Structure 1
Amino acid sequence: MKGSPVLVVGDSMLDCYWQGRVDRISPEAPVPVLCFEREWLHAGGAANVAANLVALGGTATLATLLGEDDAAQQLSTLVEEAGVRLRAVHSADMVTTKKIRAVCSHHQLLRVDIERPASEDDAKTLCELVCGLLPAHRWVVLSDYHKGALSHCPNMIDHARRQDCLVMVDPKGTNFERYRGAWLLKPNEKEAAAVVGAWADEAAFIRAMSQLREHLALEHLLVTRGERGISLFSAHRQPLHMPTAAREVFDVSGAGDTVLAALAGSLSGGQTLQDAVHHANVAAGLAVAKFGTATVTSAEVQEARGKHDARHKTPAMTG
């Protein structure tokens, strides 16, 4: 899948897992006592998109905001060891987002978030960095987690379009106007419903998503729908729907990152959009079967895709 480098921009975070066992309830409060056994770290957010893209055989540059703290150093090490080219704006005023999850027998007991959103000045500096990187990247991925890195998202999209870059966005929140003009927007079904309102049936869903794509001047709108699979809405084409490739759902953490990474990597490698969506669908099915924020490899996807295609005979998306 190796192709042209993909520029990944957005909010990065450090995912920290504290694993242990629970043998008793605390005498101080009615809460379980986790007897700590080990810790492991993983790149999260935009950093997870970039790491997955490389694991899937692509090439990625990550432009992001980080603090000047231990979490930033740990995250930088993870990203660089994954083979990602890191271009970070470091700020002493920012706290690198860290999510600590206490886990027992693959069950999450508690999550602690440590964060301080980026300042306007830091976000502006990142935007300037991104604009300087655009000429070397045809494909741009914006991963929004509402931590401040994409405060200048409209400017990034505008500059990317002027450079003939194709921008794919994983959105957050209910203000999708900020993503207007992107080449592709990838909300999940819940995020889409928060913007357009609930729909009564499949026909209403298709109408709502078609209108949303047109309203935002998007070339493509890709909606991930959990057990209902993936739906693609494109200009001048009939909607296309693909059933889920997931065999079992263990943990949905980071699944959206995997979809975006597989999609961008496939497209940068020369695949058609329909084939790239199929590739991303299979990759997502593997991601949700793993515990925690996890990367999916190219070899895993190829094996799973062969099995998926055999089960469905011809896996082409249906209109």
Structure 2
Amino acid sequence: MNITLPNFTGVGVLIVGDVLLDQYWRGLTPKISPEAPVLVVKVNHIEDRPGGAANVAMNIVSLGAQPYLIGFLGADEAAKSLRKALDNVNVICDFISVDNYSTIIKTRVLVRNQQLIRLDFEEKLEGIHSELIHDRIYKFLPHIRAIVLSDYDKGALANVQTIITLARNKGIAILVDPKGNDFSRYYGATLITPNLHEFEKAVGKCKNEDDILEKGTRLMQENSFSGLLITRSEHGMILLQPDQNPCYMPTQAKEVYDVTGAGDTVISVVATSVAAGYTLEESCFFANIAAGIVVGKIGTSTVSAVELDHAIDMRLKEGGRMIDEAQLMIEIRKSRQRGETIVMTNGVFDILHAGHVSYLSNARKLGDRLIVAVNSDLSTRRLKGMSRPVNPLVNRMRVLGGLKSVDWVISFDDDTPKRLITKILPDFLVKGGDYKCTIEEIVGSKEVLDNGGSVRVLNFEDGITTSKIIQRIIRGKDNY
């Protein structure tokens, strides 16, 4: 497989929000202060990095896209440092200078890459006229395909509804990195991306996974969000969309050194991918991998297109043909762009036997790519009883992925694969000859046929079934 990033060249994304400067003071601690029982840090290096909304812009430009940035600055040295850093990488900025206001600075003191203390120099913007921002947004509209609202609750986004309404009226995706406990102020956004702590601050403490899904779905419905992406540190991400099953994305982090700015990286990759024409699910797949890279760096950092492309390639080498839903949709899109036909089948495939191998080989001959959707362990128990499956899901998927005829293996938790089939809409939907029903009764057949596809029933080799193999093992007999 070869999942590659889209070409972000020329893709315009506008960022509006709280701009701040992240400072890093690095040094050594040779002694204890004689004045108090505290360390003395001998600072030998000072580094300024754009933070907040400016870090989102830095991440977007690292991907090769074109960011446009609107925010508020003071007339001070911190503002000069920010302008210089952003100008050096060709971020197009339209800052609003505010009299008697100091640019926000977050200073971190580090010794051997360990943060000792953070010092915040900030004041909240008050009495800002929203027209100052809106006039600037109109100027950038012809050049952008997505807007990011980077909300750090510092006053730049006091009135976001007019921005969201403007974006929706223009057909521009609007994505929000939210703050506070009232997400209704983001009503109508395309996507909001809270971490679990921020999410629970808005909806209340979640007891378990089901509680997260229930409260997240309700939050989406009440506020007309097109999507909700909850980031959960070592537990990965959950993407919720109306009328779709949750999409779980496991963490990709190998080692976590610093989570500073990880949320900025996530929303920047999602926004840039959406602006490039990818779905929310596909975009979140890229963002999840990017988050795994950036938390392995010290301080406010970015992820380049080269790093992201390499990480995707490494993930595929490790995972073989087993694939999640977001990955699969990207592969299908690319396959169809090459003019390839997609074949899909499904089943438990508990004990893989010669009948399965022959059947899958014949299915693959119908087209260029074969997808095998496999019932999860829970789905199998509901279908076959508590004694099944004999082999757990991961083993069943690995065996299927080892077959030359199979291109992609994906699991599903539902009783049937109808949702997956409807989403994929393969050119050929295939079932085995032991499936006792008419073509019209095959799950997903109507959707495939209505889309111009074909539904086929292929014969299994006579007398070979998983149930018979299990019975033979139990009885200890030599014959079927």
* TM-score bucket (shorter structure): over 0.9
2:292 counterpart residue number: 285
State the AA in 1 paired with 2:301: A
C-alpha distance 125-247 of structure 1, shift in aligned 2 (>3 A):
same
Shift of 1:123: 4.8
Q: Is residue 140 of structure 2 the alignment partner of residue 147 of structure 1?
A: no
Match of 1:309 in 2: 316
Contact 1:184 1:221 in 2 (8 A): yes
Partners of 1:300 and 1:121 in 2: how far apart? 39
Number of the residue aligned with 2:186: 179
Tell me, what secondary structure is at the counterpart of 1:280?
helix
Which structure's residues are more often strand, by fraction? 1
Residue in 1 aligned with 2:13? 6
- TM-superposed deviation, 1:92: 1.6
Normalised by the length of structure 2, the TM-score is: 0.64
Identity %, equivalent residues:
37
Tell me the residue number matched to 1:218.
225
**In the alignment, does 2:135 pair up with 1:128?**
yes
Contact (CA 8 Å) 1:89, 1:122: kept in 2 or not? no
- The equivalent position to 1:109 in structure 2, one of 102, 116, 128, is 116
Residue 67 of structure 1 is matched in structure 2 by 74
Kindly provide the CA deviation profile for residues 141-198 of structure 1, in whole angstroms up to 9, marking residues without a partner as x: 0000011110111121112212221100000111111111101111011110111111
Matched with 2:91 is: 84
Corresponding residue for 2:46?
A: 39
8 Å contact from structure 1 (residues 94, 119) kept in 2:
no
* Structure 2 runs not aligned, ≥5 long: 1-6, 326-411, 414-480
Distance 2:112 2:128 in 1: 43
Supply the distance in 2 between the matched residues of 1:207 and 1:312 (Cα, whole angstroms). 31
> Which residue in the other structure is 1:21 paired with?
28
1:247 is aligned, of 241, 254, 258, to: 254
Match of 2:302 among 285, 295, 303: 295
Does 1:170 find its partner at 2:180? Answer: no
Bigger mean CA deviation after superposition, 13-22 or 127-136: 127-136
State the AA in 1 paired with 2:18.
Answer: D
**SS, match of residue 257 in structure 1:** helix
* Equivalent residue number for residue 228 of structure 1: 235
Mean Cα deviation higher: 304-313 or 53-62: 304-313
CA contact (8 A) 1:62 1:84 kept: yes
2:59 is the counterpart of 1:52: yes
Q: Which runs of 4+ in 1 moved over 6 A?
A: none
Q: Name the amino acid aligned to 2:17.
A: G
Task: Say if 1:201 and 1:110 are closer, same or farther in 2 by CA, change over 3 A.
Answer: same
Q: RCO greater where, 1 or 2, for CA within 8 Å and sep 6 or more?
A: 1
Aligned residue among 202, 213, 216 for 2:209: 202
CA distance in 2, matches of 1:122, 1:311: 52
Matching residue within 268, 282, 303 for 1:275: 282
TM-score, normalised to structure 1's length? 0.96
Task: Give per-residue Cα distances to partners, 1:86-109, cap 9 Å, x unaligned.
Answer: 111111222110111111011111
Q: Is the CA contact 2:23–2:48 (under 8 Å) kept in the aligned structure 1?
A: yes
Q: CA deviation at 1:293?
A: 0.4
CA-to-aligned-CA distance 1:13-58 (integer Å, 9 cap, x gap): 1111010000111111111000111111111000000110110121
Contact 2:68 2:140 in 1 (8 A): no
Q: CA deviation at 1:133?
A: 2.9
SS at match of 2:248: strand
d(CA) in 2 for partners of 1:239, 1:232: 6
d(CA) in 2 for partners of 1:180, 1:108? 37
Instruction: In structure 1, list runs of 5 or more residues that go unmatched.
Output: none
CA distance in 2, matches of 1:214, 1:95: 39
SS in 2 for 1:43: strand
Q: Distance in 2 between matches of 1:8 and 1:221?
A: 19
What is the DSSP-based 3-state SS (H/G/I as helix, E as strand, rest coil) of the residue aligned with 1:181? coil
Distance 2:251 2:317 in 1: 14
Distance in 1 between residues matched to 2:323 and 2:295, nearest whole Å: 20
| Residue 309 of structure 1, CA deviation | 2.3
| Higher mean displacement: 126-135 or 226-235 | 126-135
Quick check: 2:258–2:297 contact (8 Å CA) kept in 1?
Answer: yes
The one-letter code sitting in structure 2 at the alignment partner of 1:273 is L
- Could you say if the C-alpha distance between residues 157 and 174 of structure 1 is closer, same or farther in structure 2, counting changes exceeding 3 Å? same
Counterpart amino acid of residue 74 in structure 1: S
State the aligned residue count.
319
1:135, CA displacement in angstroms?
4.3
